Chains A and B, each alone.
Chain A
Amino acid sequence: MNFELDEIFIEEDSRASALARRVIEALSPRVPIRFVADARAATLADRNAADPFGKGKRRMVIMRRRGAFLMGCPAASARYACCGYLVLALASNCPMDCSYCFLQDYLADNPGFQVYSNYADAFAELGRLAAGSPERQFRVGTGEFADSLAFDSITGVAREFVEFFAAHRNLTLELKTKTDEIDGLLSIEPRGATMVSWTVSPERVYRTSERRTAPPSARLRAARCVLEAGYRVAFHLDPIIAYPGAEDDYPRLAEEILDTVAPEKISFVSMGSLRMTPALRTAARRRFPDDPMLLGEDILCPDGRYRAFTPLRLRLYRQIADRFSRAGAPVQTYLCMEPASVHRRIFAAEAPTPADARERLCCAG
């Protein structure tokens, strides 16, 4: 993808790392590079900038990660029917710019686009996870605080993880993306241990709200390519936005997914409606005042997030779920950040426990 970087900061400690060398080779001298002893200050928001978050996206910071790489999904909560996902933080922030992105609030104080040079330390954490509970399946994703593939043509990190996961039978890697940057994946043998998942939206949402992402049709084409290369594929319809016309566009999108990937080849489909904390809503509207997708019929829900009012939102879920249920083969479908009662209404079944969901989503497809 086309990076728009203003500058790169590299911590002295990371200067000799493989990752720093790859970045320097790919981007110097086009983008100015500065070496600093401690890059943490470079990750902070420039409060004097007109758009501190947008400016942070354009400042790549290559540094050591000080904390653990592996953590629970930040969306997990006893309130929701949950999928038992683990997050591997290899980077923080994203070169694309979706108007609804939760990172606008989550990373408001430190929006610098961090990429961690000591990512190989994550292998030890993952090894301990796999060995500690060999009977359990774990789904681990790198796409929570960043897009999994947006910078991979430069860093080449995904390949090492695909190979690591291929050697651990109770670990599943999920690479989640809105790009079509798959070239680095096609020559590796994933042995069923990596799924590449695409967040997909109708064309209308892509045009208004998903800057610098690949068009939805390109994402679907990329999904077919990685499937043919031996990867599992999954789709996130998230956020689902209840704009006028969404009732037609989302089932059509489901149709397009099914036209591209046979239902029995889809590992899962997740659905989640647009949800925004008041702080995220304020930040997003300030950055994108002319985006109509941020101005839906959203109301404050009991969990403190704005969502489309309940009957409207549930009708959309049902229409999409119905389309997948008529696919000719079962497609694992689940909801993200919705209470168990909503799950029951949409699927006429109890929501699985996080442990059950983890097993099912790791093994499906």
Chain B
Amino acid sequence: MTTLEAEQAIRALAGARQLQDPYLKRWLAREQAERVAMLDAARKLRLRTGQLAVALDLLEEIAVREGAGIDSILSRENLQRLIESKGPAPARASAFIAELRAIRFPRLGATLRRLSAEISALALPSGVNVVLPKDLNSDELVIRISVRSPDEFDRLMTMLAEKRDGLARLVRMLGGDDEL
């Protein structure tokens, strides 16, 4: 694909998706290999307007963070698998955005996975929910108890008391405790 062909194809796709002008300008301002790689992904995943904008934002940020080109980011195996696979486009597009987010926020993702694993290992009874702060944006752990009778309340409080150490550990993890 020549530079001109790429530009025409990008403009056509952006027009069809009503992509905002600043995004189109940023897309066109990239190197030819990056522009084409993004175009390929957008076409094969049939990215919608919002997804296209989010993907561009994330890819640009990853490119700066890692000092890599967008084309080389998109050539990674986990992303290529989603771009080239045959399943329904909406599901692949969502998974693609989620994968980009995971690359953009690697330590947040790893910490969330660790906390979720701790919560699962607690095997809390139904009626007790542990809610992590959104994106770990605070150090507050919410423990929600739903009961419909005094007996149920007593039972859950007893079970919760047995989980005290595990819950305390979660609270410490939210505070970035290194020993964990």
Q: Which residues of A contact B (CB under 8 A)?
A: 289-292, 295, 297, 299-302, 307, 309-319, 341-342, 345
Flag whether B136 is at the interface (Cβ < 8 A).
Answer: yes
User: Which residue of the partner chain, among A290, A295, A297, A310, contacts B174 with CB atoms under 8 Å?
Assistant: A310
- Write the nearest CB–CB distance from B150 to chain A, whole angstroms: 32
A309: chain B residues within 8 A (beta carbon): 105, 107-108, 111, 135-137
CB closest residue in chain B, given A315: B176
User: Which residue of the partner chain, among B61, B67, B106, B175, contacts A311 with CB atoms under 8 Å?
Assistant: B175
What are 24 residue pairs bridging A and B, where the CB atoms are less than 8 Å apart in the complex?
A289-B64, A292-B64, A292-B65, A295-B65, A297-B105, A297-B108, A299-B108, A299-B137, A300-B135, A300-B137, A301-B137, A307-B137, A309-B105, A309-B137, A310-B136, A310-B176, A311-B174, A311-B175, A311-B176, A314-B176, A317-B176, A318-B176, A318-B177, A341-B139
User: Which residue of the partner chain, among A291, A300, A318, contacts B178 with CB atoms under 8 Å?
Assistant: A318
Q: How large is the interface on B (under 10, 10 to 19, 20 to 34, 35 or more residues)?
A: 20 to 34
Interface bits B44-79 vs A (CB < 8 Å: 1, else 0): 000000000000000011001101000000000000
Flag whether B173 is at the interface (Cβ < 8 A).
Answer: yes
- Write the nearest CB–CB distance from A54 to chain B, whole angstroms: 20
Query: In residues 160-180 of chain B, which contact A (Cβ within 8 Å)?
Result: 173-178
User: What are the nearest 4 A-B pairs in CB distance?
Assistant: A315-B176, A314-B176, A311-B176, A299-B135
CA distance A312 to B175 in the complex (A): 8
Flag whether B90 is at the interface (Cβ < 8 A).
Answer: no
B174: chain A residues within 8 A (beta carbon): 310-311
- Write the nearest CB–CB distance from A86 to chain B, whole angstroms: 29
- Write the nearest CB–CB distance from B29 to chain A, whole angstroms: 10
- Write the nearest CB–CB distance from B25 to chain A, whole angstroms: 13
A310 in contact with B107 given A290-B64, A295-B64 (CB within 8 Å): no
A302: chain B residues within 8 A (beta carbon): 137-138
A291 in contact with B64 given A301-B138, A311-B173 (CB within 8 Å): yes
Given pairs A299-B137, A310-B175, 11 additional interface contacts (CB within 8 A): A292-B65, A295-B65, A302-B137, A310-B137, A310-B176, A311-B176, A314-B139, A314-B175, A315-B176, A315-B178, A341-B139
CB closest residue in chain B, given A247: B178
B105: chain A residues within 8 A (beta carbon): 297, 309
A307: chain B residues within 8 A (beta carbon): 137
CA distance A318 to B179 in the complex (A): 12
